[in-house]
Amino acid sequence: MVIGVLALQGAFAEHVRVLARLGAAAREVRLPADLDGMDALIIPGGESTTIGKLLVLTELDNAIRARAATGMPIWGTCAGMILLGRNLGDSGSRVGEPQPLLGLMDLRVRRNAFGSQLDSFETTLKVPAVADRPVPAIFIRAPVIEETGPGVEVLARLPDGHPVAARQGRCLATAFHPELTDDLAFHRYFVEVVVAEAVADGRKGGWT
């Protein structure tokens, strides 16, 4: 199994290291051709506006949408969750320039929901679909999900009720950074459940 990790900006190296711990081959993705042969793609945390602009510049935005349309699993963490969403509400623009989005999940996401870098925090979350124990979660200038469409399954919520992890078909989104902890639960879930289900369907040839 080969998992692509978008490597335009952000915490892509950390995802590559975690995937190696799971025994999954990882390959950095910077251009549309790099998606060839991928079983899935992870979009890491970082600066969502910067990553979005680079996706447009490299034409990876359209290439990723095309792969998603044919069944390739995609997971976005933090900024990656923002990019997977379809709506940013009032947090979508700072200087009149819209945030580029992939629009692959029916989510309204609020950026920087907890404040600045100084307001980052770590907690544990109950995620029954992912693990039978609390899962550590690191939030760094993190977003939250403000609204979900009917096809979205919420996987985890904060105590205030805000969703912070969700799945829609073969797309997975987390507001936090599993790659910055020693816990493999979310990466294992993505690789051994989401991606494995897609590969078992025999559709790999359709998105490569």
User: Of 14, 15, 171, 179, which residue is the catalytic one?
Assistant: 179
Q: Which residue has the tokens 């493999």?
A: 184
End-to-end CA distance of the chain: 13
Q: Are 138 and 118 in contact (CB under 8 A)?
A: no
Q: Which residue has the tokens 């404040």?
A: 115
Q: Phi then psi for 107, rounded to 5 degrees?
A: -130, 140
Cα–Cα distance, 120 to 169 (Å, whole number)? 30
Structure tokens, 196: 């494995």
What residues contact 158, with CB distance under 8 A and at least 6 apart?
Answer: 123, 125, 144, 164
Identify whether 187 is a catalytic site residue: no
Q: Which is nearest to 181 in space by CA: 7, 10, 14? A: 14
User: Of 15, 146, 171, 177, which residue is the catalytic one?
Assistant: 177
Instruction: Tell me the one-letter amino acid at 200.
Output: A
Structure tokens, 45: 């945390």
Identify whether 171 is a catalytic site residue: no
User: Of 14, 15, 78, 187, which residue is the catalytic one?
Assistant: 78
Q: Which residues are catalytic?
A: 78, 177, 179
